[in-house]
């Protein structure tokens, strides 16, 4: 069966064999990936868009397609995941959550609920009681009328929701807002406030705090280093220096590998200039203007492979080994998901 969003080539097969296959554990857990059906989006409602990356890479990916993608990309490995809807502003959160729950109930994977900030705690509790749903994935774009710009975490992830999640001991994967990411002291203050007021929440900061470029990591990581209860997923980070800083400041036990699929079916590499990253890709996307010669683009592999290689090379380069790779690519996420699943029996 073919996957709708990527073609697996000889370049990929070689990259897998040479750089990844022998180093990844047999069991892998992907701590952050999106799953959705087209009908979960209300196309009669205009959607908020940045008009840039990651537009155009992939449409909604079903659970079946997600599993097919793992089979193709990780042959011989068992990949389970924590999945949730894509946060398009026109998504029907409840419909997406209900479907994620149905698809994942009784499997070794789990889901998070997308939540609208205007929901009452009672409404959110209904979503959290769905089978296999262990927490929430709030997004600024899910706030009605969001038009970009800096807003507080509590504007799209209200205290009422956090109180409920704290009572339940649920999971929160947090996409930090604000253009300065972890270099913005307001984000640091709010993350520390969540830890102080809601210590029972399993708090995971997405994308290493959206530290795709180095300064956000340099400025932000030290301020989050001391609290072992602040966890991270490393999805969408291709920057080896950022992986290294994260390993050094947080240690391998606080970092979970994640893919952010379906975005990283994209093919290509990244370059960094100051606070900017440049996606070098061969994809025919409207925003793709930094092109390399065709013979160079022909050597591009899947961006997800590049991200994994960056993580593995850094882990090994810093003198860690198999135990740390297992922790990052499986054990920590698996253990935490299982812990919340056990608590969920009382929700």
Binding site for Zn ion (CB under 5 A): 260
With respect to Zn ion, which residue has the nearer C-beta, 153 or 169? 153
* Comparison of 202 and 324: residue with beta carbon closer to Zn ion: 202
Which residue number, 91 or 326, has a Cβ lying nearer to Zn ion? 91
Nearer to Zn ion, 179 or 200 (CB): 179
Residue 142 near residue 114, CB atoms below 8 Å: yes
d(CA 73, CA 66) in angstroms, rounded, equals: 11
Residue nearest to Zn ion (CB): 260
Q: State how far the Cα of 134 lies from the Cα of 347, in Å rounded to an integer.
A: 10
Nearer to Zn ion, 103 or 260 (CB): 260
Minimum CB separation of residue 242 from Zn ion in Å reads 17
| Cβ proximity of 82 and 112 under 8 Å | yes
Q: Residue 166 — φ and ψ, nearest 5°?
A: -65, -40
Q: Which is nearer to Zn ion, 85 or 169 (CB)?
A: 85
Distance CA(15)–CA(8), nearest Å, equals 11
Distance of CA 46 to the CA centre of its chain: 25
Residue 98: left (phi > 0), alpha (psi -120 to 50), or beta? alpha
Shortest Cβ 202–Zn ion spacing (Å): 17
Q: Which is nearer to Zn ion, 85 or 283 (CB)?
A: 85
Residue 60 · residue 87 · CB < 8 Å: no
Evaluate whether 153 touches 203 at the Cβ level (below 8 Å).
no
Minimum distance from residue 1 beta carbon to Zn ion (Å): 25
Tokens at 335, concatenated: 């253990």
In whole angstroms, the minimum distance from the beta carbon of 34 to Zn ion comes to 6
We find the least distance from the C-beta atom of residue 273 to Zn ion, in angstroms, to be 24
Residue holding tokens 């990936």? 33
In whole angstroms, the minimum distance from the beta carbon of 199 to Zn ion comes to 25
- In whole angstroms, the minimum distance from the beta carbon of 139 to Zn ion comes to 9
- Sign of CA pseudo-dihedral 232, 238, 242, 243: positive
């Amino acid at each position: 069966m073919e996957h709708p969003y990527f073609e697996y080539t000889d370049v990929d097969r070689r990259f897998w064999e040479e750089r990844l296959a022998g180093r990844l554990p047999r069991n892998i857990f992907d701590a952050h990936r999106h799953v959705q059906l087209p009908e979960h989006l209300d196309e009669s409602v205009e959607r908020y868009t940045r008009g840039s990356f990651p537009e155009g890479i992939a449409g909604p990916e079903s659970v079946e397609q997600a599993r097919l993608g793992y089979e193709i990309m990780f042959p011989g490995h068992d990949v389970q995941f924590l999945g949730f809807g894509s946060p398009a502003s026109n998504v029907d959160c409840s419909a997406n959550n209900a479907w994620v729950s149905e698809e994942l109930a009784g499997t070794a994977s789990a889901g998070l609920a997308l939540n609208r900030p205007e929901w009452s705690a009672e409404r959110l509790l209904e979503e959290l009681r769905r089978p296999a749903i262990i927490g929430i994935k709030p997004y600024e774009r899910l706030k009605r009328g969001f038009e970009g710009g800096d807003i507080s975490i509590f504007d799209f992830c209200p205290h009422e929701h956090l109180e409920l999640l704290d009572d339940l001991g649920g999971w929160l994967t947090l996409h930090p807002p604000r253009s300065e990411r972890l270099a913005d002291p307001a984000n640091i203050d709010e993350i520390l406030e969540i830890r102080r007021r809601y210590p029972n929440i399993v708090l995971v900061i997405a994308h290493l705090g959206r530290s795709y470029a180095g300064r956000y990591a340099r400025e932000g990581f030290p301020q989050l280093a001391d609290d072992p209860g602040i966890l991270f997923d490393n999805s969408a980070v291709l920057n080896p220096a950022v992986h290294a800083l994260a390993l050094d400041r947080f240690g391998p036990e606080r970092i979970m590998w994640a893919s952010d699929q379906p975005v990283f079916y994209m093919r290509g590499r990244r370059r960094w200039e100051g606070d900017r990253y440049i996606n070098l890709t061969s994809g025919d996307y409207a925003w793709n203007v930094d092109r390399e010669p065709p013979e160079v683009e022909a050597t591009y592999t899947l961006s997800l492979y590049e991200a994994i290689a960056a993580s593995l090379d850094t882990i090994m380069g810093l003198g860690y080994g198999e135990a740390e790779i297992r922790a990052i690519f499986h054990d920590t996420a698996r253990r935490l998901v299982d812990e919340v699943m056990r608590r969920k029996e009382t929700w």
